[in-house]
Amino acid sequence: MGGCVSVQVSCDQLLNHLCKCFCRKLSFIHNLKENLTALEEAMEDLKAVRADLLCKVQTAEERGLQRLHQIKVWLKRVKTIESQFNDLNSSRTVELQRLCFYGASSNNLRLSYCYGKKVFVMLNVVQDLKSKGFFEEVAHAAVRAMAEERPLQPTIVGQETILEKAWNHLMDDGTKIMGLYGMGGVGKTTLLTRINNRFCDTDDGVEIVIWVVVSGDLQIHKIQKEIGEKIGFKGVEWNQKSENQKAVDIHNFLSKKRFVLLLDDIWKRVELTEIGIPNPTSESGCKIAFTTRCQSVCASMGVHDPMEVRCLGTVDAWDLFKKKVGEITLRSHPDIPEIARKVARACRGLPLALNVIGETMACKKTTQEWDHAVDVLTTYAANFGAVKEKILPILKYSYDNLESESVKSCFKYCSLFPEDTLIEKERLIDYWICEGFIDEYESKEGAVNKGHVILGNLVRASLLVEGENFNNKSYVKMHDVVREMALWIASDIRTQKENCIVRAGVGLNELPKVKDWKVLRRMSLVNNRIKEINGSPECPKLTTLFLQDNRLLVNISGEFFRCMPRVVVLDLSWNVNLKGLPEQISELVSLRYLDLSDSSIGRLPVGLLKLKKLVHLNLESMLCLESVSGIDHLPSLKTLRLLNLRMWLTISLLEELKRLENLEVLTIEITSSSALEQMLCSHRLVRCLQKVSIKFLDEESVRILTLPSISDLREVFIGGCGMREISIERNTSLTSPSFPNLSKVLIAGCNGLKDLTWLLFAPNLTHLNVWNSRQVEELISQEKAARAGIVPFRKLEYLHLWDLPELKSIYWSPLPFPCLNRINVQNKCRKLRKLPLDSQSCIVAGEELLVIQYGDEEWKERVEWEDEATRLRFLPSCKLVLYNR
């Protein structure tokens, strides 16, 4: 019959199958007593195996070793099965009494069958666990996570409970991914930072901790870059790989490590496999934690039980606000504390608002000022609806209290950069000067000092955050909520006029649509994917144009610059595919600041040399640039940056530099002895030197490098040189050191040098790197230094020594090192047996700061300490770090 299938099964086969099924199920009942006895014996054996294992683990841990992660997993499984056994065994008597016909049947077949099956299954699990409980190794040398401690704000209130909860949840073996969510400014990043820093001090088997800031524009290649740098993948070859190839490299590395990945500020699902992140499992012990403003993002990441970071309660909020305002201000009038509570309540428990407004009110010591603050904040809150819209006007009160319009302009300028971006202070101040926010005084030094004063005020007002890197205070950044407030203000507050367009780091492929170019004053298109810039927009009011870091940009049409008569700042840096500029750049008649650094431009257009108002020109790292001939046609030039160019400094170029009458700041690379001699003979150029790189000078050309006093010199790199000694001109005294502003020095590949005693005359040195110099025996020679009578390194923060096989001494006796927070000794520094430390070194205001990193376990064992107190003080600060230069 169509559509029918005939299946024939013999009656014997069917009966045989049914019989087997029934007998197998019946065996769970009639074998119950024997299986229970076997299970009890197996559990006793398993407990004995566990007891023996724990004895071995305890012995190993007493020797300072750390139990293996597989031991932890096995012990946890034993604990789980033990609990299940106890529950099962508690009903043993009832279940045995249920049996009848000498155990062959039961008064309740269904219940006895279910119980008997559980006993049988558990017996197999217990026997399997017992067989896997014999380990050749139970522990290994304690491994402290390779984690970089991140800076924290000094005042944190109300996070202890959620910190412990979050830490315990993350470290639970069952947790693979943890999500923290909450509104902007509530303290999510602070919480994640504290978790990160705990790994720095915890020996829990985690091998590497990776921190990545994701932000709104999720770019796979940026995340891969940050992870790659952390695990040692960098350089031209790796940078040129595709995202898929990088993902394979990252996956292959991390799949062999127990890692923790911390993702801060994600706005949508992050595809971990596209980045190369292996899926964390209980067996691997790997973890991922992230922060986000949106609970739905947690669900998209597979986290269905995220932890909410909430605003502070009334008590904690008042406590934080009091600490920010200070007791002196609160006691300045008996009515102020009560009014202050009203101000604190207006901040709605948001830590960011409490910090910012608290800093603002710290100098207000009259009741009238405090009453005014209450009136303003109450009015703001009444005029705006949602929480976010209420917070921004509250934060604006701190902006309103900035001392001048120029400072307010400097603050708003910081919002032109992408979210969560570190902003270099030096670059920012140069922008401000050229924009006219800061008067140039009679010299640039005064203007720069004023810029640092403004930065300090903004940091103290909690409108900027300083020092993202542990040892680097040369950068600032803006909290994303503060940035939103600054953009809100810059957009003419609620009117949304397009006088300021900021589309930084949002993945643009072309110029954005602008309703009215004629009203536009500032445009920031930093860090996008724009390939071409065309058109001829009429921009009579445009003063600032940020186009840097558009790495796909290959062409800018000449017409684009034709109608921008008031542009004073143009930044085209980090456009690595940009190979030329149009001649029409000469139309930018008001241009004062031009940055072309890290581009592939091979020839400067003649039009550039017609920019008579140009004050600041940055050509650093333009490796395709063939010449800067004609630079002396720029009469207003005050800052010229020429470091790291393919072209060499020639005598003719030096002559052009000498003709720049207004030049105040010069950064330059010197690769010939004749150019070096001519440079050092020009007193005016020497006075301008801010950064200098001296490279590839052989011993025959310069046997002794004699440096004159250079008061404005900030950074020095000397690499691949054969000189036997570096000395200074004999006109130096303690009251007028040769290099009063020198802060960073890198010496690399200088195989003739035996010491660096000249650094005695750099009293403000903060960073010293000495690499790959085979003959260096002492950093400071005792014989040479005796004549100077100077205690060195009083401002030193970071000392990195790498591949110095003959180095025996940094200094011959202990030094105070009041600012030193890190020493890094890596690779072939085996003769360095003693560090110039005693038990009183590296203490500032009662805090012990120093971390000693080393790359060779044997080096740590060979270190000779000044005394036992010194050893006890610094040995816990030593951390094994495999450093990739």
pLDDT class for 7, splitting at 50, 70, 90? very low
Count of Cβ atoms closer than 10 Å to residue 826 Cβ: 21
Residue type at 419 in one-letter notation: E
- In angstroms, rounded to a whole number, what is the distance separating the alpha carbons of residues 515 and 414? 24
285 φψ region: left (φ > 0), alpha (ψ -120 to 50), beta (else): left
Query: CA nearest 151: which of 196, 181, 184?
Result: 196
Which pLDDT score, from 0 to 100, does residue 450 have? 92
The token duo for 778 is: 């002492």
pLDDT class for 453, splitting at 50, 70, 90? very high
R_g over Cα of the chain: 34
Position 388 pLDDT exceeds 70: no
> Per-residue pLDDT averaged across 413-420, rounded?
91
Give the whole-number percent of the chain exceeding pLDDT 90: 47
- In angstroms, rounded to a whole number, what is the distance separating the alpha carbons of residues 573 and 305? 44
| 245 or 488, higher pLDDT | 245
Only one residue has tokens 């091979």, namely: 602
Q: What is the pLDDT of residues 517-555, one digit of tens each?
A: 999 999 999 999 999 999 999 999 999 999 999 988 888
Three-class secondary structure of residue 426 per DSSP: helix
> Per-residue pLDDT averaged across 840-859, rounded?
78
Only one residue has tokens 């005695």, namely: 760
Query: CA nearest 151: which of 472, 479, 428, 421?
Result: 472
Query: CA nearest 849: which of 365, 225, 151, 208?
Result: 151
| 380 or 314, higher pLDDT | 314
pLDDT class for 437, splitting at 50, 70, 90? very high
CB 710 within 8 A of CB 680: no
Q: What is the pLDDT of residues 116-162, one digit of tens each?
A: 888 888 888 888 888 888 887 877 655 555 677 887 777 788 888 89
Count of Cβ atoms closer than 10 Å to residue 143 Cβ: 15
- In angstroms, rounded to a whole number, what is the distance separating the alpha carbons of residues 211 and 476? 18
CB 540 within 8 A of CB 519: no
pLDDT class for 100, splitting at 50, 70, 90? low
Which of 456-491 are b and which e, b meaning 16 or more Cβ less than 10 Å from the residue's Cβ?
ebbbebbbbbbebeeeeebbbbbbbbbbbbbebbbb
Residue-averaged pLDDT of the chain: 85
Position 591 pLDDT exceeds 80: yes
Which pLDDT score, from 0 to 100, does residue 112 have? 74
Which pLDDT score, from 0 to 100, does residue 1 have? 42
Which pLDDT score, from 0 to 100, does residue 61 have? 66
Strand extents, DSSP E, 602-670 = 616-618, 639-642, 665-670
> Per-residue pLDDT averaged across 803-832, rounded?
92
For residue 633, the 8-state DSSP code is G
pLDDT class for 353, splitting at 50, 70, 90? confident
Which pLDDT score, from 0 to 100, does residue 497 have? 59
Which pLDDT score, from 0 to 100, does residue 154 have? 73
Which pLDDT score, from 0 to 100, does residue 37 have? 86
For residue 755, the 8-state DSSP code is -
> Per-residue pLDDT averaged across 309-332, rounded?
91
pLDDT class for 203, splitting at 50, 70, 90? low
- State the first-to-last Cα distance of the chain, in angstroms, to the nearest integer: 80
Which pLDDT score, from 0 to 100, does residue 848 have? 62
* Lowest-pLDDT range of 175-189, 435-449, 751-765, 812-826: 435-449
pTM given for the model: 0.73
Position 102 pLDDT exceeds 70: no
Residue type at 575 in one-letter notation: N
Count of Cβ atoms closer than 10 Å to residue 15 Cβ: 10
- In angstroms, rounded to a whole number, what is the distance separating the alpha carbons of residues 865 and 878? 13
Position 295 pLDDT exceeds 60: yes
Count of Cβ atoms closer than 10 Å to residue 273 Cβ: 10
Position 687 pLDDT exceeds 80: yes
* Lowest-pLDDT range of 62-66, 224-228, 510-514: 62-66
Task: Return the top range by mean pLDDT from 60-64, 300-304, 589-593.
Answer: 589-593
Only one residue has tokens 């139970």, namely: 138
> Per-residue pLDDT averaged across 417-428, rounded?
91
- In angstroms, rounded to a whole number, what is the distance separating the alpha carbons of residues 725 and 246? 44
Residue type at 513 in one-letter notation: K
DSSP-H helix ranges across 617-765: 651-658, 673-681, 683-688
Q: What is the pLDDT of residues 15-34, one digit of tens each?
A: 454 444 445 556 667 677 78
Only one residue has tokens 């401690």, namely: 149
Which pLDDT score, from 0 to 100, does residue 5 have? 42
* Lowest-pLDDT range of 122-126, 247-251, 418-422, 467-471: 467-471
Position 726 pLDDT exceeds 90: yes
CB 309 within 8 A of CB 186: yes
> Per-residue pLDDT averaged across 200-221, rounded?
83
Position 846 pLDDT exceeds 70: no
Which pLDDT score, from 0 to 100, does residue 3 have? 47
Q: What is the pLDDT of residues 620-668, one digit of tens each?
A: 999 999 999 999 999 999 999 999 998 888 899 999 999 999 999 999 9
pLDDT class for 759, splitting at 50, 70, 90? very high
For residue 670, the 8-state DSSP code is E
Three-class secondary structure of residue 391 per DSSP: helix
Which of 101-139 are b and which e, b meaning 16 or more Cβ less than 10 Å from the residue's Cβ?
eeeeebeeeeebbebbbbbbebbebbeebbeebeeeebb
Which pLDDT score, from 0 to 100, does residue 267 have? 87
* Lowest-pLDDT range of 8-22, 317-331, 780-794, 844-858: 8-22
Which pLDDT score, from 0 to 100, does residue 72 have? 79
Position 9 pLDDT exceeds 50: no
pLDDT class for 231, splitting at 50, 70, 90? confident
The token duo for 837 is: 């430390």
φ, ψ (nearest 5 deg) of residue 89: -75, -20
Bridge partners of 221, per DSSP, are none
Position 722 pLDDT exceeds 70: yes
Residues in the chain: 885
Query: CA nearest 476: which of 500, 449, 451?
Result: 451
Position 791 pLDDT exceeds 60: yes
Position 301 pLDDT exceeds 60: yes
- In angstroms, rounded to a whole number, what is the distance separating the alpha carbons of residues 570 and 414? 16
CB 188 within 8 A of CB 216: no
Which pLDDT score, from 0 to 100, does residue 239 have? 81
* Lowest-pLDDT range of 230-239, 279-288, 876-885: 876-885
